[in-house]
Amino acid sequence: MSKTATLEFDGKKYEFPVTVGTEDEIGIDIKKLRGEAGLITLDPGFKNTGSCESAITFLDGEKGILRYRGYAIEDLAEKADFLEVVYLLIFGELPNKEQLEKFNKDIKEQSHVDEEMKKILDGFPKSAHPMGVLSSLTSALIAFNPSSVDVSSEEDMYKAIVKILGKFPVLAAWTLRKKNSLPLNYGDEDLGYVENLHKMMFEKPNKAYSVDKAVIDALDKLLILHADHEQNCSTSTVRMVGSSHAGLFASLSAGISALWGPLHGGANQAVIEMLEKIKEDGGDTHKFMQKAKDKEDPFRLMGFGHRVYKNFDPRAKIIKKSADEVLAQLGVDDPVLDIAKGLEKEALEDDYFVKRKLYPNVDFYSGIIYRALGIPVEMFTVMFALGRLPGWIAQWREMRLKKEPIGRPRQIYVGENHREYKPLGNR
């Protein structure tokens, strides 16, 4: 394979080196393109543009492969627990017993939030969307943890990382409790990371807390499946904000806002709302399939399609199987699961979807499990953010440790050419 790529333009030839990744992906290194050829590339949505070299997550959209630090998502979802995966993504290796215990201890020591933060939460109406509240609270944490802002040493980064891993689940739980008018709490630090999250979210002030192990296992698996996904919209946002050295918490707050969008993490909420709408409309999936294909109709089949996966999203396969298992274990019969399966079957046989390689993505079935676990639909994307937190942290840390330059794309200007100012009276 050639070591360079040649560009010919205006009778001149330019050579650019190519970078080959450990999974044989090839990137043309155009760092010198503008300097040597006076040209830039144009790629709205960055569909063909790599923003960085990363050692964290590998995915192959054609083959439906997803690996965190080389470990297959199927193995991790089946055999690991979420905190192990958090450690793996951030530090690159599965932790041994001592490392995991220390990591867990360091996080627990940070799992309280300044009481003053409750005043900020109080300022929100109950109707506020939890993603907007969570993004604001994450940014507000900066004021109470100033030492976590200007971090450049690995040691200071570690301190900021365990702080946010300890406090973020508290903020997410408080966001739900605020909506449910329940007193804010801290759960029980003797519980595991995921069980304590569940307890903080759902414990009642006047009733002993108990939970079915199947619920915690399902939640743990869902968090693992959402933990990272290379340079998606919200992760790229975290990297971009972090590249200005704005600090970890500010970068995460921006990532939460990006994830909120219905084309991204907000799709899991949009999927359930879509399925409910189809159910209310009599369950005619064919009618909605036609709407999804009609260019004049803004309706899209939420939870379908993906920028990278042009085959089954491996996470969707695992979540679909888990949905059957969890609903059976919990004795939940949710009619929208059958509607979802009907839509999937129809789409996989429909030329419009097949031609465009539109398959169910991570968001298509996840909401059905969240609902069976008693999580309200407006909290679905918060659950996505809780899962994606370690991925955002790992990507931010990799970018900072590699001392990547500040992100600043170029553009092609298509506006007015120079023109003279016209006084008001002459316009």
Q: Which residues are annotated as catalytic?
A: 306, 363
Count of CB atoms situated within 10 Å of the CB of 407: 16
- Does residue number 362 form part of the binding site for ligand SDX (CB under 6 A)? yes
User: Which of 133, 358, 375, 393 lies at the binding interface for ligand SDX (CB under 6 A)?
Assistant: 358
For the CB of residue 76, give the shortest distance to ligand SDX in the complex, in Å. Answer: 15
- Does residue number 303 form part of the binding site for ligand SDX (CB under 6 A)? yes
3-state SS class at 424:
helix
Contacts with ligand SDX in 217-256 (CB under 6 A)? 229, 232
Q: Please tell me the distance from the alpha carbon of residue 306 to that of residue 263, in angstroms, as a whole number.
A: 10
| Secondary structure element (H or E) that encloses residue 57, with its range | strand 57-60
For the CB of residue 244, give the shortest distance to ligand SDX in the complex, in Å. Answer: 22
- Does residue number 287 form part of the binding site for ligand SDX (CB under 6 A)? no
3-state SS class at 176:
helix
User: Which of 110, 136, 269, 361 lies at the binding interface for ligand SDX (CB under 6 A)?
Assistant: 361
- Does residue number 307 form part of the binding site for ligand SDX (CB under 6 A)? yes
For the CB of residue 239, give the shortest distance to ligand SDX in the complex, in Å. Answer: 13
Measure CA 301 to chain center. Answer: 20
For the CB of residue 409, give the shortest distance to ligand SDX in the complex, in Å. Answer: 18
For the CB of residue 18, give the shortest distance to ligand SDX in the complex, in Å. Answer: 24
3-state SS class at 262:
coil
Q: Please tell me the distance from the alpha carbon of residue 16 to that of residue 205, in angstroms, as a whole number.
A: 64
Question: Exposed, middle or buried: residue 105 (CB in 10 Å: 0-12, 13-18, 19+)?
Answer: exposed
Q: Are 187 and 197 in contact (CB under 8 A)?
A: yes
Sign of CA dihedral 29, 34, 39, 45: positive
Q: How many CA atoms lie within 13 A of 297 on its CB side?
A: 11
The residue range among 176-184, 203-211, 304-312, 334-342 that interacts with ligand SDX, by the rule CB under 6 A, is: 304-312
Count of CB atoms situated within 10 Å of the CB of 374: 13
Instruction: Tell me the DSSP string of 348-415.
Output: HT-HHHHHTT--B-HHHHHHHHHHHTT--GGGHHHHHHHHHHHHHHHHHHHHHHTTPPPP-------S
- Does residue number 77 form part of the binding site for ligand SDX (CB under 6 A)? no
Residue nearest to ligand SDX (CB): 305
The residue range among 10-18, 149-157, 179-187, 360-368 that interacts with ligand SDX, by the rule CB under 6 A, is: 360-368
The residue range among 137-145, 213-221, 299-307, 375-383 that interacts with ligand SDX, by the rule CB under 6 A, is: 299-307
- Does residue number 258 form part of the binding site for ligand SDX (CB under 6 A)? no
For the CB of residue 48, give the shortest distance to ligand SDX in the complex, in Å. Answer: 12
Q: Applying CB under 6 A, what is the total number of residues that bind ligand SDX?
A: 22
- Does residue number 395 form part of the binding site for ligand SDX (CB under 6 A)? no
User: Interface with ligand SDX by CB under 6 A: which residues?
Assistant: 45, 229, 232, 263-265, 267, 292, 300-308, 356, 358, 361-363
